Amino acid sequence: MTAVLFTCAGQRVDIVDAFRRAGATTIAVDVNPLAPALYHADRYALVPRVDDESYVAALRDVVTEHGVALVIPLTDLDQAKLARSRDDLGTLLLLPDADVVERLADKYLAHELFEERNVPSPPTWLPSHVPDDLPFPVLVKARVGFGSRDIYRAENREQLAFFLGYTPVESMVQVQLQGEEFSIDVFCDLEGRCLNAIPRTMIESKGGESIKGMTIRDDALIELARETSEKLRLVGPANIQCFREPDRSHYVTDINPRFGGGFPLPLAAGGRYPELALALARGERPEPRVGDFREGIVMTRFFSDLSLTRNGDGTLKPLVRAE
């Protein structure tokens, strides 16, 4: 079976389990021994922090030991580092080029990238370049961050000045869009071809992560995602966040080059993204199947738990409860 390494595995039990069901041998790594996804993988290892100089070397050791054919980062934390070090991993890394990864991680650089590649993006400025005729309301948004943190709505110049002084992080100013927000889960091959794009509504989010949503068949959103992913030459999974304005125009606000928090929804809708990833790892070239999914599939997420007990060597393992 194809061995897949998941980095920064954290709580992404859903992704690890899906790849196991698709036929992969799953290896999960994390710095935290209490990361639940470790104990849902076939094998796991503890590795240094992402900012440790030995992080990539530790991953390379895991790749060598388990014959890993594919590396999939599960969070934003190590994407840039891995994209810059892909040749050192010794196997296939499911990420776009380092320049794209790094620019997508900074929301202002992402805006510039979108404009360069003719991807529609809402008007956005650095605080020092805000125009005199700024159209309110606007958002003060962290350039680097996640989970909808450090975002403030300003209704006028006074509020804008206050929030720019109040925010603790480097920020940008962006026109607040008035339409409906959507997420589109795409999967692209190693050449940047979009193999599928599955739009979903944002019924409810918590901490910036979708916890309720529904797949929809919307040709305009599907085509927007296909064009965007191919213009940026995305590789592997990505989550595209966009708005549809009252005049039916669309604007892309954010792209995360990884499986999104709503991963269970495109999976249940028949996207078969784990199978596509494994095909790439085997050197195959799957044909695009854009639009091939079930609409009207609703996702509602919930908390679960995992109880652990200690092995004789002090490591942890899942507790087997008596029936």
CA–CA gap between residue 29 and residue 27 (Å, rounded): 7
- CA distances (Å), 260 to each of 163, 248, 282, 287, in order? 29, 25, 24, 23
CATH of domain 123-175: 3.30.1490
Structure tokens at 216: 């929809």
* Each residue's pLDDT tens digit, 230-260: 999 999 999 999 999 999 999 999 999 999 9
* pLDDT value at residue 323: 60
* pLDDT value at residue 38: 98
CA–CA gap between residue 72 and residue 180 (Å, rounded): 31
CATH of domain 178-300: 3.30.470.20
Q: Which residues touch 188 (CB under 8 Å, ≥6 apart)?
A: 194, 195, 229, 230, 233, 234, 235, 236, 238
- CA distances (Å), 228 to each of 120, 178, 253, in order? 9, 21, 12
Looking at the structure, give the CATH architecture of the domain made up of residues 3-93.
3-Layer(aba) Sandwich (3.40)
CA–CA gap between residue 138 and residue 289 (Å, rounded): 38
Domain ranges of the chain: 3-93, 123-175, 178-300
* Each residue's pLDDT tens digit, 20-42: 999 999 999 999 999 999 999 99
Is the CB of residue 249 less than 8 Å from the CB of residue 165?
Answer: no
Each of the 323 residues of the chain gets a pLDDT tens digit; together they read: 899 999 999 999 999 999 999 999 999 999 999 999 999 999 999 999 999 999 999 999 999 999 999 999 999 999 999 999 999 999 999 999 999 999 999 999 999 999 999 999 999 999 999 999 999 999 999 999 776 789 999 999 999 999 999 999 999 999 999 999 999 999 999 999 999 999 999 888 776 677 899 999 999 999 999 999 999 999 999 999 999 999 999 999 999 999 999 999 999 999 999 999 999 999 999 999 999 999 999 999 888 899 999 998 889 999 887 66
3-93 and 178-300 share one CATH topology?
no
* pLDDT value at residue 147: 67
CA–CA gap between residue 175 and residue 179 (Å, rounded): 12
* pLDDT value at residue 12: 97
